Structure 1
Amino acid sequence: MKTVKWGIIGCGDVAEVKSGPAFQKVKQSELIAVMRRNKSKAEDFAKRHKVPFHYDTAAALLGHKGINAVYIATPPSTHLKYTLMALDAGKDVYLEKPMTLNFIEGKIIAEALKNTSGKLTVAHYRRKLPAFEKVKQLLGEGAIGKVQCADIQILQPRKSELIADTDDNWRLRPEVSGGGYFYDIAPHQIDLMYHYFGVIKGVAGFSSSDNTIELVDDLVNGIIHFESGVQFRGIWNFTASGVNKKEECVIYGAEGSIRFSFYGEEVQLQHNNGTEVFSFKNPDHVQQPMIAAVVDYFLDKAENPCPVEDGLVVMQTMEQLCGRWS
């Protein structure tokens, strides 16, 4: 394989700006075809983004012999089905988060990978954005001394700009999303903590809901103990008052702290000599750095930037934080 030739399953809002155009901009990468169940919308996406082929079924797209990899950008309810279909068709897979509806489905994908030569990367793309790479660099350099603990506070009103707006609001349908807004945005945050601090030793958490829909958690509160000794606490509240609106992570060390937003482009380093601020500019298509890393992995030029095992850790941790794990 000299070029990764992509097909996209689910060319909706996420693929429109965050990811789709990047497949055409990364070196040794081409976007060949897209699929959406609404044929006219698939055709419209293909025309606007100059994609040669469009389909209204995943089977038809996977049957395209010129495609050797697929990006699965549908809601989580179809991730398992489409991933297994893609692997069976001999395609490598770039899979949106959360990787599945639940941990059990994630395990099925992990087992399927063992019986195929196919490759799979989970789209925890913040790992490759400059601000979060800077955080990892500062931690590695010991900029705040021995890391002691980390704190995440996500306090958002019911209508939040952090949550992508859709006509049917499928994120509040657990049979489609897995579990409300927490399942939509927390994978990125939990993944970064795992990426920074390593193996997780223990998790405890609780959740509650103002909603009568089962598994839609409005409030999630939990702690994580890492084998490295780092302690983590986090709270996600999606019914917060506007005056309490907040979105922040602080990592505390013996000699200072690192403060950042998951949706910003700035990192603050506080230490005995004062405060340093590092500013960054995200690419127009925020998944582009991760897609470049995935292309290198698929072409055997680099390691997997986020393997299925990491996705499983995130799925298990989410269920534990929600109090669902047994």
Structure 2
Amino acid sequence: MEKVSWGIIGCGVVAEVKSGPAFQNCKNSELFAVMRRNGKKAEDFARRHKVPYWYDNVEELLQDNRINAVYIATPPSSHLNYTLQAIEAGKHIYLEKPMALSVAEAEQIRNALKGRENKLTVAHYRRKLPAFLKVKELLAANRIGVVRFADVKILQSSEAKIIANTEENWRVDPEISGGGYFYDLAPHQLDLMFHYFGEIAEMRGFSKNQAKLYPANDIVQGIISFRSGIQFRGIWAFNISEKDNTDNCTIYGCKGQLSFSFFGDRVSLKSVAGNEDFHFKPIEHVQGPMIQATVEYFMDKNTNPCSVEEGLEVMKIMNAFR
């Protein structure tokens, strides 16, 4: 493979800025076609982003032999079906998070890949962003000593302004999203915890629909005991006062702590050796570094930046918490 020629399935809000342009900007990568069931919107996206071809049904896109990889950027309710079709069509896959509606669906995807040459990467793109790479580097350098526990708080009002706006708020319909705003945001936090701390020994959680503004639960909390002995606790609430909005993770060690936001650009280190802040410039197309790593993996130049097995582990955590 000399170049990864992409087709996007679902060119909506996320593909508009966060991911879509990155497929054109990455080395050895081109965005060849997009697909959306609304043909006028697919054509409009293609025209504005200078994409050569567009489709209004997934079968035609998958039959195009000029495309060797697809980005599935639809709501989770269609991830399983589109992924299985892409596997049968022989395409490599960059699959948006959460990778499916449920653990059972995620296992179907994993099983369908067995014995196939298709490669699949789950779009847990924060792994490749500079701020979170810095956190991993500081942990590896033992800057806060032996890690004891991590504490995550994602507290938002019912408007949930850190959620991408869409024409229809499908994220609060569990049949489409899998489980409300928690299912949309928690993969970012939980994948990083799994990425930093490794295998899980035990986990459990609780959830409730307190405000009853929509069908999904609006508060979720959970705890994890990692095999390394590191502990985790997290809470996601989408029913509080806007003035109390919080987006924070603090990792505590025996010699200090690391604190950072999942949607910010700063990492703070406090330790017995002194305090230090690390600042990072915002990335316009935020999935770009992960897409570049995925391209390199598809071309056999690097390892998988986030495997189907890792995506499945995150699904299991969300299921346990929900």
**Alignment of 1:113 onto 2:110:** no
Dislocated runs of 4+, deviation >3 Å: 211-215
Which piece of structure 1 moves more, 129-138 or 242-251? 242-251
Per the alignment, residue 199 of structure 2 pairs with 199
Matches of 2:305 and 2:187 in 1, distance apart? 15
Matches of 1:215 and 1:229 in 2, distance apart? 36
**Alignment of 1:73 onto 2:48:** no
**Alignment of 1:223 onto 2:235:** no
Per the alignment, residue 24 of structure 2 pairs with 24
Q: Is the 8 A contact 1:103 1:315 kept in 2?
A: yes
**CA pair 56-178 structure 1, distance change in 2 beyond 3 A:** same
How far is 1:213 from its partner? 8.4
Per the alignment, residue 82 of structure 1 pairs with 82
Q: Deviations over 1:90-133 (max 9, x none)?
A: 00000000000000000000000003110000000000000000
Q: Deviations over 1:61-99 (max 9, x none)?
A: 111110000000000000000000001000000000000
How far is 1:212 from its partner? 5.0
How far is 1:275 from its partner? 1.5
Match for 2:44: what amino acid? D
**CA pair 239-214 structure 1, distance change in 2 beyond 3 A:** closer
Match for 1:25: what amino acid? N
Identity between Structure 1 and Structure 2 (%): 59
Give the secondary structure class of the aligned counterpart of 1:21. helix
How far is 1:214 from its partner? 8.8
Matches of 1:309 and 1:255 in 2, distance apart? 33
Stretches of structure 2 that go unaligned for 5 or more consecutive residues are none
Per the alignment, residue 95 of structure 1 pairs with 95
Q: Is the 8 A contact 2:181 2:238 kept in 1?
A: yes
Match for 1:122: what amino acid? V
Stretches of structure 1 that go unaligned for 5 or more consecutive residues are none
How far is 1:160 from its partner? 2.0
Match for 1:297: what amino acid? Y
Per the alignment, residue 248 of structure 2 pairs with 248
Give the secondary structure class of the aligned counterpart of 2:176. helix
Q: Is the 8 A contact 2:172 2:214 kept in 1?
A: no
TM (norm. structure 2) is 0.98
TM (norm. structure 1) is 0.97
Matches of 1:243 and 1:7 in 2, distance apart? 41
Per the alignment, residue 237 of structure 1 pairs with 237
Give the secondary structure class of the aligned counterpart of 1:37. coil
Per the alignment, residue 177 of structure 1 pairs with 177
Matches of 1:255 and 1:204 in 2, distance apart? 28
Q: Is the 8 A contact 2:172 2:215 kept in 1?
A: no
Match for 2:119: what amino acid? K
Give the secondary structure class of the aligned counterpart of 1:196. helix
Per the alignment, residue 269 of structure 2 pairs with 269
> What is the total number of aligned residue pairs between the two structures?
322
Q: Is the 8 A contact 1:144 1:254 kept in 2?
A: yes
Q: Deviations over 1:215-273 (max 9, x none)?
A: 71111111000011100000110001123211100000000000000000100000123
Match for 1:200: what amino acid? I
